[in-house]
Structure 1
Amino acid sequence: MTTADTVDPRPLYTRATAQAAELIATVRPDRLSGPTPCAEYDVRTLLSHIVGGTLRIAVVGEGGDGLAVRMFVDGVADDGWPGAYDEIRTRVLRAWSGDERMTSPVRVPWGNIPGRDALSAYVMEIVAHTWDLSEGLGRPLALDPELAEFSLAAARVALPDGPREGRPFDPALPAPEGADAYGRLAAWLGRGPLGAAR
């Protein structure tokens, strides 16, 4: 199994952002107020968080202080989300293209860690939120299972099974019987399919 310790996360992050971009391109303005598995986020708020989180890791990759970046963006037109994400996606991939960034320490909300570990965590972040968005949109596209397997392995290392004080994740839930990698990842992150009983 691939893990954050044994693989360069950059190709996976590139694939994960491409998958997110393809999904975001399907969002119609009339779906922006719809629910997602993140109970506090409708589709618009989730998109704002996806773009803001991607901006944060772009700034980190550029050597800046990601903690100074808000995790949500404002001012995006209803039909402007694909363009907003494509713009920041281009920036983040450029910021992380150099090998030196993989071993250099970077500052992220949970501490100062090597760039490789930070980017691996952001693979998990974008993959999880792509699943959230997919659920909110009625699963319009098939999602890449390898990305979910990598993200689940990273999540099991980064997040304890039990109370998660100070972390933006609920305790892990049991995965539904027969759940695919995305279902298992969502359960480990404390959420289930849209409309599932909690």
Structure 2
Amino acid sequence: MSTTTGTTGLTDPRPVYARAAEQAAALVRTVRTEQLGLPTPCPEFDVRTLLSHVVAGTRRVAVVGEGGDGLALSRFAEDVTDDGWGAAFDEARARAVKAWEADDRMTAAVRAPWGEVPGRAALSGYVMEVVTHTWDLAEALGDRTGLDPELGAFALEAARLTLPDSRPRDAATPFAARHEVPEDADVYTRLAAWTGRDPISRA
């Protein structure tokens, strides 16, 4: 998976982000209209709201990669119809992948929700976001057997670097406090718990 050796901080996150976005896209394409009202592990999101958030977040990734202020964008995509989530996400992820192609984007300072960081760190954080929300969607749909464990491992490392072990839920850190899970839990269970989900109670 890595294009260099070492941890997330030394790995080029661009191919990882592309893989993570494709994993998400494959799952989004399976969503049926009658599933849009299903609950998700995020209490405030049903599937429709989660998809709206994921599309908007991916548009933010693109704007940040293009050098703009992604934080000025809405957290939700309000221009997508119920039959258009797959196409909207595909368009956003293609734009996002293209926006980060240039090598200088990896070292340029960008504004992420958790502060001003080098592009490499920001995109690693966005891997965490899309992989975690892919787990959310898989849980809502009732099947996460196809999730890539390598992407889960990268996202978990990024989460541990980006999110403090204990944090308030506010605009700056929109994740609840982490949950405890067994040390031998699979990587997606550990990722979900670190980002404030309660995967054990859902098991």
Three-state SS of the structure 2 residue aligned to 1:5 is: helix
Q: Which residue of 1 aligns with 2:192?
A: 186
> Which runs of no fewer than 5 residues in structure 1 stay unpaired?
none
Partner of 1:146: 150
Summarize the Cα distance change of 1:28–1:90 in structure 2 as closer, same or farther, 3 Å threshold: same
Q: What is the SS of the residue equivalent to 1:34?
A: coil
Task: Please state if 1:134 is matched with 2:145.
Answer: no
Is residue 107 of structure 2 the alignment partner of residue 103 of structure 1? yes
Contact 1:16 1:127 in 2 (8 A): yes
* Deviations, residues 50-74 of structure 1 (Å, cap 9, x unaligned): 0000001100101111111111101
Residue type of the partner of 1:51? V
Identity %: 58
Between 72-81 and 6-15, the greater mean CA deviation after superposition:
72-81
- Letter paired with 2:32: R
Matched, 1:115 2:133: no
Structure 2: gaps (5+ residues): none
1:154 deviates by 1.1
Larger mean Cα displacement after TM superposition, 24-33 or 140-149: 140-149
The equivalent of 1:78 in structure 2 is 82
**Are 2:167 and 1:163 equivalent residues in the alignment?**
yes
Which fold has the larger relative contact order, with Cα–Cα distance below 8 Å and residues 6 or more apart in sequence? Answer: 1
Cα RMSD for the two superposed structures: 1.8
Question: Per-residue deviation at 1:178?
Answer: 4.1
Q: Determine the C-alpha separation between the residues in 1 that align with 2:200 and 2:53.
A: 18
Deviation, 1:180, is 0.9
- Equivalent AA in structure 2 for residue 90 of structure 1: A
Aligned length: 197
